[in-house]
Chain A
Amino acid sequence: MAITEVQRPGLVPEPSPATRLVAWLTTTDHKRIGILYFWNSFAVFAVAGVMALLMRTELAQPGTQLLSVRAYNQVFTLHGTLMIFLFIFPVLAGFGNYFVPLQIGALDMAFPRVNALSFWLLPVSALTILSGFLAKGGAAASGWTNYVPISVQQGAGEDLWIAGLLLAGVASILGAINFIVTILRLRAPGMTMMRLPIFSWATLATSLLVVLATPVITAGLVMLFADRRLGTTFFNPARGGDVLLWQHVFWFFGHPEVYMLILAAWGMVSEIIPVFSGKPLFGYTGVVLSFLLITALSFSVWAHHMFVTGQVELPFFSVTTELISIPTGVLFFNWLATMRKGKLRFDPPMLFALGFVAMFLIGGLDGVWMASPAMDFAIHDTYWVVAHIHYVLFGGTVFGIMAGMYYWFPKICGRMLSRRLGQWHFWLQFIGFNLTFFPMHLLGLRGMPRRIADYAPDRGWTFLNSLATVGAFVIGMAMLVFLVNVIVTLRRPREAPADPWGGFTLEWATSSPPPAHNFERLPPVRSSRPVYDMRTAAQAAAEGAEP
């Protein structure tokens, strides 16, 4: 017996680089696809981040220094489009791909080939949108909201934008169906819905939003293309169409979209805070209920993006918008109550999770002003909105994404990211972020409209703009620290233990990185924290054996 078990490396040759490349290109393993999602998303993050730095450099001082007006309009459009549709959403889908099957104790996603297809559509989508820069007239330049009629006037870059988003939309719908089926059908024995890890709940809620909302924007994009190229008049008021139809279609998708971009980050933070507090998530049921309430309510608030059109029912959408802050507020209470009386450890994942709570609070509160229509008339379409969206999507989601990266990196790569570089990364990102985006509230109150390529020196906006530009470069430094951390860590040997943080959920019950088939054996699932149960049972057994 012993002889047959001896490893004989000579019989299994190291795969050649070409074979390994083909293996990656044709993989249907959810973990490998998850890693592809990360590489693709962070590449887009880098491109769209450089665009942000170009914009901030241009806006640091009045006058045109770096970008022509034409270039600026293209750059701000693609910055928003790429960050929202091709960085944040896909990177969260990457976490979902890698960790949902592990968290629920499954072998893979329900439809592995569909899973590969939804990933491979994304780089094609990103390249299609970016290829607009090579088109006559340049890339799309109507903002990420792409309002008509301005988007009907644009050149071929706009068609490429529409095509790219159609691909991303199809990718996300396929992915969402895959997540829903995986979570509903492939859970391990004992993993009831109310024992589902909270990140998997968040991914389920996100997927429901995608399935219900994304087909609406897909239809809208087809209508827009038809208006541009096939002579239809859905959005042309001169021939019986309506410009507001686009906004209704866009925001009926667009507001649920905001929750698609934050729910999974809430899920990650709701995993990380309990682990690093040494306590279960306070009010698990309340968090699940809040997720579901937000999912439902998010379909009733879209027209708060349209208060200033003067063409929507203001009190109704104001009330629904304010109602959605109730379940959101409950999440904050649950996170704080989880920390109370805990044993808090401040490793990088926890730092980013705490940064998330502190910053997302601001993004939630400054939204309250805009939820009141009369107040919205004063600050809508100003830099206040730019501040708000970044406190939600950067202060919220990106801090959450970084918390997730530091938390799960050892599981994905078998190596621990440097704690010291992680702390540098956190503090630079925290300071740079506030330096960039807090002054934008004040710019909004002082009347600086968003999406302007230039401003007059006598408007009193110069100092705050310069400050924001300095902050943007501090964020850039933070991201370089993160990049260095990843590169340095990837060159080290694989030494991470299966469960470096004292985790609760099933992904910590397998090796780091997990084998191709995910688990050698699954622990019994008798609560929402099977790995915690296993650990405490082992400790109790050890203590029982000692005397």
Chain B
Amino acid sequence: MVARRCAVTAAFLTAAVLLAGCAQQGVSTQGQDIHDLYVRILLLATPVFIGVEAFLLWCVVRYRKRDDRPAPQDPGSGRTLGVFFAIPTVIIAILFPFGEQTLSYVQHRDKNPGVVINVDAFQWEWTFTYVNEGLVETGKTLVKAAVMEVPVNQTVHVHLRSRDVMHEFYVPALLFMRNALPGHPNDFDFTPTKLGTFPGQCAEFCGLWHSKMTFVLKVVSPPDYAAWIQSEKAAALNVSCPTGPPAVQLVAQNTSWNTACLAVPPDQPWSATVTNKDAGIEHTFGVFDSSTEGVKYFLSPPVPGPTVATFQLPPLRPGRYYFECTIHGPSMSGTLIVK
């Protein structure tokens, strides 16, 4: 049994070494700082672990009962207890400042961030609004993960919100997560230092498809970033679809519309039929001048799922408009063409 215990200890020591190796490096300056903190705590915890487990094993081997003589009945002294209280106190006194130092760096906000992104989380998708570029990126739940593209070596500021329940923005490679809370927006910065594509996903349980609420962080060079912004903007302007009768059909499923483009004839009343297939989730249908929602032409009451509702809409002048489910925002939006 003693040999087995030694083997177990050896296994633990190996595991401790592996644990150090398995901690991934951060791909941002903040993440790298957190990685360094991980190693510092490991350096403090490993001697405690080895010391206690080794002493335990030593007692097991050394003090196994071999005869019937009674053990010395030592109830312990106040002085020893003083030492017992002092040892962990000293360790904590060393540990705490390390943690605070890293924390102040991770919490630091850049006054002039290179990119500002509003991140909206909802069941079960992400929307990334590039505030200065006027660009909205989103995914399609269970079909395509949203991509958050950012330039390397520039501070990215994230303004994080939730539209429904609690979610959590988590990119393992950044060694960072932060809750998206309804009613409490959160702000944080990160500065990516490594080019590449890094998976991210919701880390706060948010209902049925929580495990599929993924996204991708893509870190590119500044020229690639500029080119990507241009092409995304052009693509948004080039959306087009043929005009049909003054009655459109829309289907909402898995918090996505079945189309990103609607077209109706000008200057006549038209109708919109909304089929909501999301059980337990409400959607709305709203028509605005643009994604900034400066002018509201129509907004339906919430359509509970699963039901079908038809709305009559006022005539519109020829032009390009923006439609959206105001509950789920830009990820459930598209272009309305009147021509």
Contact = CB atoms under 8 A, between A and B. Distances in A.
Interface of A: 69-70, 73, 141-143, 147-150, 153, 237-238, 242-244, 277-286, 308-311, 314-315, 318-319, 322-323, 325-330, 332-334, 336-337, 339-346, 354, 357-358, 361-362, 365, 368-369, 371-375, 377-378, 380-382, 427, 430, 438, 441-442, 445-447, 449-456, 459
B8 to A, nearest CB: 8
Leading 9 A-B pairs by shortest Cβ distance? A447-B172, A237-B183, A372-B99, A329-B88, A283-B76, A452-B211, A378-B175, A343-B65, A449-B203
Contacts of B234: none
Nearest to A326: B88
A236 to B, nearest CB: 9
Contact of B34 (A310, A336, A375): A375
A285 B81 CA distance: 9
B60 interface: yes
A441 B204 CA distance: 18
13 contacts: A73-B208, A285-B81, A310-B184, A322-B92, A328-B88, A342-B71, A343-B70, A346-B1, A361-B53, A377-B175, A381-B203, A456-B199, A459-B199
Max chain B C-beta neighbours (<10 A), residue from A141, A344, A357, A427: A344
B303 interface: no
Contacts of A336: 52, 55-56, 59
Contacts of B34: 374-375, 377-378
Contacts of A279: 71-74
A442 B177 contact: no
Contact of B168 (A315, A354, A381): A381
A142 B208 CA distance: 10
Contact of B41 (A238, A369, A377): A369
Contacts of A237: 182-184
Contacts of B280: 153
Contacts of B211: 69, 452-455
A453 B206 CA distance: 12
A20 to B, nearest CB: 42
B84 A286 contact: yes
A515 B134 CA distance: 81
Contact of B19 (A153, A333, A340, A445): A445
B250 interface: no
Interface stretch (B100-108, B149-157, B256-264): B100-108
Given A374-B37, A378-B176, 14 more contacts: A147-B205, A149-B182, A243-B183, A284-B76, A286-B84, A314-B103, A330-B81, A330-B85, A332-B52, A339-B59, A340-B63, A361-B49, A368-B45, A374-B34
A445 B39 CA distance: 12
Given A284-B75, A445-B22, A449-B170, A368 B81 contact: no
A147 B201 contact: no
B337 interface: no
A282 B78 CA distance: 11
B178 A308 contact: yes
A357 B18 CA distance: 23
A122 to B, nearest CB: 27
A451 B210 contact: yes
B176 A278 contact: no
A442 B35 CA distance: 14
A243 B64 contact: no
B53 A358 contact: yes
Contact of B99 (A278, A337, A346, A375): A375
A368 B208 contact: no
Given A329-B84, A330-B88, A377 B1 contact: no
Contacts of B85: 286, 326-327, 330
A330 B52 CA distance: 12
A286 B73 CA distance: 17
A341 B63 contact: yes
A342 B92 contact: no
Given A285-B81, A358-B56, A308 B177 contact: yes
B183 A242 contact: yes
Contact of B205 (A150, A278, A339, A446): A150
Contact of A372 (B41, B55, B165, B177): B41
Contacts of B168: 308, 381, 449
Nearest to A325: B88
B112 interface: no
Contacts of B63: 277, 339-344
A310 B186 contact: yes
Given A308-B179, A322-B92, A446-B22, A329 B15 contact: no
B103 A449 contact: no
A381 B170 contact: yes
Interface string B139-164: 00000000000000000000000001
Nearest to B100: A315
A441 B22 CA distance: 10
Contacts of A445: 19, 22-24
Contacts of A244: 181, 184
Contacts of B102: 372, 374-375
B59 A342 contact: yes
Interface string B20-50: 0011100000010111011001001100110
A64 to B, nearest CB: 10
Contacts of B65: 278, 343-345
B75 A278 contact: no
Contact of B18 (A285, A333, A442, A450): A442
A136 to B, nearest CB: 12
Contact of A149 (B165, B172, B209): B165
B178 A69 contact: no
B170 to A, nearest CB: 6
Contacts of A282: 74-76, 80
B53 A337 contact: no
Interface in B231-285: 280
A295 B45 CA distance: 24
Nearest to A73: B208
Nearest to B69: A343
A361 B52 contact: yes
Contacts of B202: 449
B196 interface: no
A129 to B, nearest CB: 18
Contacts of A70: 208
Contacts of B76: 282-284, 286, 334, 337
A149 B208 contact: no
A149 B165 CA distance: 5
B89 interface: yes
A342 to B, nearest CB: 5
Contacts of A325: 88, 92
A70 B211 CA distance: 11
Contacts of B53: 358, 361
A337 B80 contact: yes
A337 B96 CA distance: 28
A523 B52 CA distance: 38
